[in-house]
Structure 1
Amino acid sequence: MSGFGEGSKWEGAGPSTSSSELPLNFSMGNGIGEGEICIIPGLPNDLACLCLACLPLWQHSTLKAVCKAWNGVFSGKALFEIRKRWNKCEEIMCLFRDDPSITQGELFDPRSQLWSLLPPMPSEPFTYGLTNFECVSLGNSLLVIGGSLYDARSFPMDRPLPSSAVYRYDPITSRWDRLTGMRTPRGSFACGVWEDAVFVAGGGSRHAQFAAGGSRLSSVERYDLLHDRWSPLQSLQNIRAGCVGFVLADEFWVIGGYGGSRTIAGILPVDEYYSDGEIMDLKTGEWRVLKPMWEEGERRRLGKVAVLSGSKGEPDNVFMLDGSAIYRYDVAANRWIREAQLPSTVLAEASCRLVPLGGELYVIPGGPVLEFNDAKRTPKKRGSIVFQVYDPKDRVWRFVMTRPLLAKTARHNISWGVVCILRL
């Protein structure tokens, strides 16, 4: 989707077409045509635009070639405003591996099961190895926030530092731009979106290459997209890094993570993980304490958490992937209730992700599995990956087999570090 991705193309086992590579190019345009331009003969232009807005995203690039009027409609931002107003938005999964300035982000369309690539994210020439960042969807844009990286100007050079940088990707123009950075650099932090604002809390400087060490924070900030400005908020009661953040019923939840540490035999550092959390009322800015969510010995740390939006006025539900089981959070009891067992054991469990998409939960494994040529041990084709998809409403599982674009070399046989959902 070259307005979604670089150059570019959607690839994969999608619906039957004349080509297996479906370009989607959303370039900058004026959008809906003016005056006498006819979009669909016999229909008013506003109704014609509504008809075109109902078409799936993966077909937009092909349809732009129909005529000049259609090219203008599918190239402009007005079409996406219509899709949003009439509740015709589709959800696209955005997956990032470590350092998106080197390894491109990937987009997966669950409707067509096609993949596309994002252009590389810009970065400073003296920084590298970005990891433990956060990505959120805000409006029609993606924000990549913070993280931990190496700076060639620092000493010692092998010590990771937190980043305050914020980058925005516009999927319509296929361009990155840099926004105002956070007041406090941080990685491995909690992050949530409420209305047109982003909230970040806690975090530290730990890098994915190191299992221990790094700083910890308790500070909290709010980002205003309209004014491109970060504002400090009331801090957490405790330092908390590696935590999970989400917004639930006008509250910003910050749960899990680690604070202090201890050593084994006075040598090996081990984190002390939290089983509790803190909750901010987004209307008043006040924090309250969330008591431990499990008994001692029940589990060592919080698993992968996902919030599934309720439909038709139903409340949102919070789920967790812990081991090979899905748990549902009972807000009233403050406990995780076992919901379902994964039909297939996942590899690289620590690198798995739980993603809410289209009313279902996608269990994303630790990375693509490549098929090798036995003689030279080189990949002979793109590796396949299997998503296990759970429907909480019907309590049934299904499998989605697909081939990511970057699973072409052993260099890319790594897990996705960050996953978020873009609605367009």
Structure 2
Amino acid sequence: SRLLDMDTVKVRVGDRLFTDRMVECHQEEIHVRNLKAQGFIIIMLAVASGERPILNGKEILEAIECAAFFQAEPLARHLQDLLNSDNCLLMYQASATYGLLELRESSAQFIRNMYHDLQEDLKKLPQELIEHVESLVPSGFVAVGSHSTCSVDELPLATTRTVRYLDEDDEEWKVLTALPVEASTSLAGLTVLDNRLYVVGGVHGVDKIPVNASFCYDVVTNTWSLLPGPRQPRYNFTLIGIEGCLYAIGGESGRTTMSSVEIYNVPTKEWSFAAPLPRPVAGVACTKAMSRIFVCLWKPMETNEIYEYIPNQDVWVLVSTLLKHQSYGHCMAAHRDNLYVIRNGPQDDFLRCLMDCYNITTGQWTSIPRHYGNSKGALFTAAVRGDSVFTLNRTMTLEYAIVGNMWKPCKQMKGFPRNGSLNILSLFTHLYLAPSLPDILSFAEHKRG
């Protein structure tokens, strides 16, 4: 393709744009009128070649028009990654107009999650768009404590093995569902993908015997299903979900730290090995930003390295290095195209964490001023929703508003009512009562059968 003028794009026909049943595929080139050349040349082709440009309002409109006309899924997915409180209303109305349904739904859900902040501006949209947003269930948070498997002798304790959701109106954690008796959340991998909660691996007993099975909770049907475990039994690993796949990263097996990585394809229900990490690591800090996976690896005594996994090349690529004396990146959280590395404070002070921000678009590091309180490891459970970060421990749940690069405390709620390590994840929580003990036993009998 090449630029003719700002209202005409000349396209050299290729098999990616037209099927063999369309007349256009038999022409060497076609002229597309009333389609902005910038949306095609500068934005769509850039995204198709692997770039991830940040777009302003005018560029977003041209990109949506172009993505709809060419049914360009990579561009539509990139637009979803760009959603924020400044552009979500624009994306919502434009995607509804041009028929980009997935972007429309993502935008509507983003608005619903930030409804109180965007309520006045939402009133400016057509009534049917307002009603659709208000019909959605806001995404909330679920948290899981550390539980081992439950034997027959321990069944009376099964009702304490629960997944809880945050009721933000009552400001407390309530029971969502009970864990299957054979599921372990002790040193297991936990993540959410396509609004399903996955519990993979873990250990049972003081001898850290790996649990080979995996479990999936569907919040809509309020049911658990059994899945195969990774090929290499592992625990104390990081699990993250993206684009129909689960990634089990690093961890331990037989008390040996591993660098291996496995990918679970959800549609095919199969595990396969991927490129290993540059070095063995357990409990690695990991996050996803702009539909990309990043990990933070540490080399003594002051080097924190950010690596990105490139799926189509099956490689881990060094993105950037942060040098901080005796400082270890314990957790990463992502907001838009920013990676926040949360690390211990001076002299291994874990009660006062420091934070640095890496922008994956500009490649620049920013040191976030001041210390952040880390009472009982709260910051190590950071989860992002909209323009807020939620942190959790047994004492309190604290919400931060992200203003610029700063995290500013804005709301405090009750903590999670359980000792031990915690995991917090975002989920569209339809509110159900937890299954009764007979339901739990029924699941166990079904699995044995």
- Which of the five TM-score ranges fits, normalised by the shorter chain? 0.5 to 0.7
- Helix, strand or coil: the match of 1:184? coil
Residue 98 of structure 1 corresponds to which residue in structure 2? 146
Residue 282 of structure 2 corresponds to which residue in structure 1? 241
- Over aligned residue pairs, what C-alpha RMSD do you find? 3.7
| 2-structure distance, mates of 1:359, 1:134 | 26
Residue 391 of structure 2 corresponds to which residue in structure 1? 363
| 2-structure distance, mates of 1:395, 1:277 | 21
CA separation of 1:290 and 1:147: change in aligned 2, threshold 3 A? farther
1:321 to 2:339 alignment:
no
CA separation of 1:287 and 1:243: change in aligned 2, threshold 3 A? same
Match among 396, 413, 417 for residue 402 of structure 1:
413
| 2-structure distance, mates of 1:403, 1:193 | 28
Residue 378 of structure 1 corresponds to which residue in structure 2? none
- Indicate if the aligned counterparts of 2:286 and 2:294 stay in contact, CA closer than 8 A: yes
1:221 to 2:262 alignment:
yes
Output aligned runs, 1:212-361, within 5 Å: 214-256=255-297, 275-290=304-319, 292-295=321-324, 297=325, 299-308=326-335, 310=336, 316-322=337-343, 323-331=352-360, 336-341=365-370, 345-349=373-377, 352-361=380-389
- Helix, strand or coil: the match of 1:118? strand
| 1-structure distance, mates of 2:188, 2:399 | 25
- Indicate if the aligned counterparts of 1:351 and 1:416 stay in contact, CA closer than 8 A: no
Residue 347 of structure 2 corresponds to which residue in structure 1? none
Residue 9 of structure 1 corresponds to which residue in structure 2? none
- Helix, strand or coil: the match of 2:180? coil
1:142 to 2:200 alignment:
no
Match among 181, 187, 190 for residue 238 of structure 2:
190
- Helix, strand or coil: the match of 1:321? strand
CA separation of 1:361 and 1:100: change in aligned 2, threshold 3 A? farther
- Helix, strand or coil: the match of 2:252? coil
- Indicate if the aligned counterparts of 1:190 and 1:246 stay in contact, CA closer than 8 A: no
CA separation of 1:352 and 1:395: change in aligned 2, threshold 3 A? closer
Deviations 1:304-331 (A, max 9, x none): 21112x3xxxxx2211333344431244
CA separation of 1:319 and 1:109: change in aligned 2, threshold 3 A? farther
Q: CA deviation at 1:131?
A: 1.5
Greater percentage in helix: 2
| 2-structure distance, mates of 1:188, 1:358 | 29
CA separation of 1:392 and 1:318: change in aligned 2, threshold 3 A? farther
Q: CA deviation at 1:196?
A: 1.1
- Indicate if the aligned counterparts of 1:252 and 1:282 stay in contact, CA closer than 8 A: no
Residue 176 of structure 1 corresponds to which residue in structure 2? 224
| 1-structure distance, mates of 2:189, 2:297 | 16
- Indicate if the aligned counterparts of 1:294 and 1:336 stay in contact, CA closer than 8 A: no
Output aligned runs, 1:1-40, within 5 Å: none
Q: Which amino acid aligns with 2:328?
A: R
Number of equivalences: 287
Match among 419, 425, 435 for residue 420 of structure 1:
425
| 1-structure distance, mates of 2:402, 2:142 | 20
Q: CA deviation at 1:415?
A: 4.5
- Indicate if the aligned counterparts of 2:251 and 2:283 stay in contact, CA closer than 8 A: yes
| 1-structure distance, mates of 2:132, 2:144 | 26
| 2-structure distance, mates of 1:256, 1:200 | 16
Residue 167 of structure 1 corresponds to which residue in structure 2? 215
Residue 375 of structure 1 corresponds to which residue in structure 2? none
Residue 90 of structure 2 corresponds to which residue in structure 1? none
Q: CA deviation at 1:219?
A: 1.4
| 2-structure distance, mates of 1:387, 1:254 | 25
CA separation of 1:252 and 1:324: change in aligned 2, threshold 3 A? closer
| 1-structure distance, mates of 2:240, 2:361 | 22
Q: CA deviation at 1:227?
A: 1.4
- Indicate if the aligned counterparts of 2:301 and 2:327 stay in contact, CA closer than 8 A: no
| 1-structure distance, mates of 2:409, 2:420 | 22
| 2-structure distance, mates of 1:238, 1:346 | 28
- Indicate if the aligned counterparts of 1:241 and 1:257 stay in contact, CA closer than 8 A: no
1:117 to 2:175 alignment:
yes
CA separation of 1:284 and 1:250: change in aligned 2, threshold 3 A? farther
- Indicate if the aligned counterparts of 1:355 and 1:361 stay in contact, CA closer than 8 A: yes
CA separation of 1:200 and 1:394: change in aligned 2, threshold 3 A? closer
TM-score by length of 1: 0.58
Range with greater deviation from structure 2 (102-111 or 217-226)? 102-111
TM-score by length of 2: 0.55
- Indicate if the aligned counterparts of 2:342 and 2:379 stay in contact, CA closer than 8 A: no
Residue 261 of structure 1 corresponds to which residue in structure 2? none
Residue 18 of structure 1 corresponds to which residue in structure 2? none
| 1-structure distance, mates of 2:146, 2:192 | 18
- Helix, strand or coil: the match of 2:256? coil
Q: Which amino acid aligns with 2:239?
A: C
CA separation of 1:203 and 1:282: change in aligned 2, threshold 3 A? same
CA separation of 1:342 and 1:238: change in aligned 2, threshold 3 A? closer
| 2-structure distance, mates of 1:106, 1:163 | 22
Larger Cα-atom Rg: 2
CA separation of 1:249 and 1:137: change in aligned 2, threshold 3 A? same
- Helix, strand or coil: the match of 1:143? strand
Q: Which amino acid aligns with 2:237?
A: F
Residue 133 of structure 1 corresponds to which residue in structure 2? 188
| 2-structure distance, mates of 1:256, 1:118 | 34
Range with greater deviation from structure 2 (325-334 or 138-147)? 325-334
Q: CA deviation at 1:110?
A: 4.1
